[in-house]
Amino acid sequence: MVEESGNNAATFEAKEAYRPIAGFFLSSAVWFVIFASAGFILASWMIAPDLFLYKNIPWLVFSRVRPVHTNGMIFGFVGSALIGALYYYVPHLVRAPLHSPLIARITLWMWNIAVAAGSTTLLFGLTQGREYAEYIWPIDVLVLIAFAMTFYNVFMTVAARKEKTLYVSVWYVFATLIFIFWIYFFGNAVWNPETGAIRGLADGVLAWFYGHGVVGLFLTPLAVAVSYYIIPIVSRGPLFSHTISLVGFWSILIFYPHIGGHHLLQTPIPTWLKVVSVTGSVGMLLPVLAVLVNQWLTMQGRLASIHASVGGKWVFAGLVWYLIVCLQGPFQALPIIQRVTHLTNWVIGHSHIAVLGFSGFIGLGAIYFLIPRITGRPIYSRKLADIQYWMLLIGLGGFWFVLTMAGLIQGNSWLNGETVYRTLPELHPYFIFRLMFAMLILVGSFIGLYNIGMSLLTARAPAPEEDT
C-alpha cells in the first residue's frame, strides 16, 4: 500500500515535470508548420512577385514575412524543441527532479507569447530591422525573462543533484543559457528601446556578434548537448571519451563568440577583426571535429541500433549535416571564396542546412526520442515519422543543391559585371526547383504536427522514471 502510494506520487511528480516538455514539443511542431508556410510564401514571392496577393496585402510583403520566418524558425520551431528537451535530460543526468515544473510551465507560455507576439508585430511592420533581432523591445524583454527563468530552474535542479559527475550535456546547457542571455541582451541593445541598436559601424559589428551568437551559441550547443545525451543511449554504450568532449566544449567557447566578423568581410570594419574572424572560423574545425569524432567513435559498429531508434536516426542525420555545415562554414569564411558567395543564395543554402539540417533535425530527433519517455508509450506512428524524415532529407538536400547553384551563378555574374535583368531570368528555374523541394519540407512539417500531436494528446499517464 505504502509502495503503491509512493509510486503514485512518483508518477504524479513525473507527470507534472513532463507537462511543460510536452508543451514545448507541441509548440515546436505547430511553429514548424506556421513558419514553413511563411517560408513557402517567401519562396513563391521570388517566383511570382507580381502576384496580386503580394501587392495588395501589406502584411504579406516580403520584407515583413522574411523576419517572421527566420525568427520563428530559430526561436519557435528549433528553439522550442531544444529547450523542451533540456527539461528532460538535465534532471535525468544529474539524478534530481526538475526544481520547479511550475516555472517551466510559465517559461513555456512566455516563450510562446514572445514568438506569437513577435511574429504579429512584425507583420504589422513593427521591427527593429537587424537580422534575427527584429523583434521589438517588449518581446525582447519576454525572451530574456524566459532565458533567465530557464537558467534559474536548471541551476536549482543541478544544485540538488545526486550524481557527482556533471556530464557534458549539462556543461553545454549551462554555457548556452549564460551566453545567450547576454548575447541577446547586448545584441538587441535592450537599453535603447527605440531602435534596439547602437550607432554607426559599431552597430554592424554588434549585430553580427549577435546574429552569429544566436545560431552558434544557442542552437549549436543545445543541439550538441542533445546528441551527447541520445547517441550513447541509442548506441547502447558509453561515450567514447569524456575528455575529448570537454576539449570540444572549451574550444567552441574560445572560438565561436568572436568570429561574427566573417559576416562583414566586405565592409569597412577593422582589418584585425576580419583576421581574427577568419582564423577563428578555420579554428572552429577543432570543436566541431572533437564533437563528431567522439560521437562517431561512440557509434562505431552500432549504426544498426541507432537507425532502429526513431529519434536516433534524426540525431544521426543532424550530425552528418553538422559536418557538412562546418566544412562549408570555414570555407566560405575565406575572403577569396566570399568574393563569389557573399550576399548570394549560396549563403541561404548554408543557413537552411545549418538551422534545419543540423539543429532542426536534432530537435526533431529529441522530440521523437523523448515522447515515449514522457508519455509512457511509443509515438503514434513510426511510419509517419520515417516518411517525414525522408521528405525533409530529400527536400532539404535538393533545396541546398539548387540554392548553391543559384548562388554560384549570382556571384559569378556579379563579379563579371553582368546586369541584374540578365541574371534574374537565369535564376528563375532554380527558384522553381527550390519551391518544389520546399513543398516536401512543408508537407513534412504537417505530417510531423499530426504525428507529434496525436502522440502527445492521446497519451496515457507516464511510467515512473526509467532510463533506457
Residues interacting with ligand HEM, by CB under 6 A? Answer: 36, 39-40, 42-43, 46, 66, 69-70, 73, 77-78, 131, 211, 215-216, 219-220, 262-263, 281, 284, 288, 325-326, 329-330, 332-333, 338, 341-342, 347-348, 350-352, 354-356, 358-360, 438, 441-442
Helices H, strands E: what count in the chain? Answer: 19, 0
Say how many C-beta atoms besides its own lie within 10 A of residue 255's C-beta: 20
**In the complex, what is the shortest distance from the CB of residue 308 to ligand HEM, in angstroms, rounded to a whole number?**
26
Alpha carbon distance 81, 28 (integer Å): 6
Q: What amino acid is encoded at 448 in this protein? A: G
Alpha carbon distance 409, 377 (integer Å): 50
- 376 contacts: CB under 8 Å, gap ≥ 6: 459, 460, 461, 462, 463
Shorter beta-carbon distance to ligand HEM: residue 104 or 215: 215
**In the complex, what is the shortest distance from the CB of residue 165 to ligand HEM, in angstroms, rounded to a whole number?**
27
What b/e string do you get for 345-370 counting C-beta neighbours within 10 Å, with b at 16 or more? bbbebbbbbbbbbbbbbbbbbbbbbb
**In the complex, what is the shortest distance from the CB of residue 193 to ligand HEM, in angstroms, rounded to a whole number?**
24
**In the complex, what is the shortest distance from the CB of residue 79 to ligand HEM, in angstroms, rounded to a whole number?**
10
Alpha carbon distance 40, 411 (integer Å): 24
- 386 contacts: CB under 8 Å, gap ≥ 6: 310, 313
Shorter beta-carbon distance to ligand HEM: residue 11 or 351: 351
**In the complex, what is the shortest distance from the CB of residue 72 to ligand HEM, in angstroms, rounded to a whole number?**
9
Alpha carbon distance 187, 145 (integer Å): 16
Tell me which residue of 284, 220, 206 sits closest to 79, measured CA to CA: 220
Taken in order 446, 223, 40, 24, the sign of the CA dihedral is positive
Task: Please answer whether residues 24 and 70 qualify as being in contact, where contact means their C-beta atoms are separated by less than 8 angstroms.
Answer: no
Shorter beta-carbon distance to ligand HEM: residue 219 or 225: 219
Taken in order 251, 253, 256, 261, the sign of the CA dihedral is negative
Extract the C-alpha cell encoding 390. Answer: 525522408
Shorter beta-carbon distance to ligand HEM: residue 19 or 263: 263
Alpha carbon distance 49, 53 (integer Å): 9
Tell me which residue of 292, 176, 163 sits closest to 228, measured CA to CA: 292
**In the complex, what is the shortest distance from the CB of residue 36 to ligand HEM, in angstroms, rounded to a whole number?**
4
**In the complex, what is the shortest distance from the CB of residue 328 to ligand HEM, in angstroms, rounded to a whole number?**
7
**In the complex, what is the shortest distance from the CB of residue 286 to ligand HEM, in angstroms, rounded to a whole number?**
10
**In the complex, what is the shortest distance from the CB of residue 277 to ligand HEM, in angstroms, rounded to a whole number?**
8
**In the complex, what is the shortest distance from the CB of residue 159 to ligand HEM, in angstroms, rounded to a whole number?**
30
| Residue least distant from ligand HEM (Cβ) | 329
Alpha carbon separation from 448 to 420, 431, 452, 457 (Å, rounded):
39, 25, 6, 14
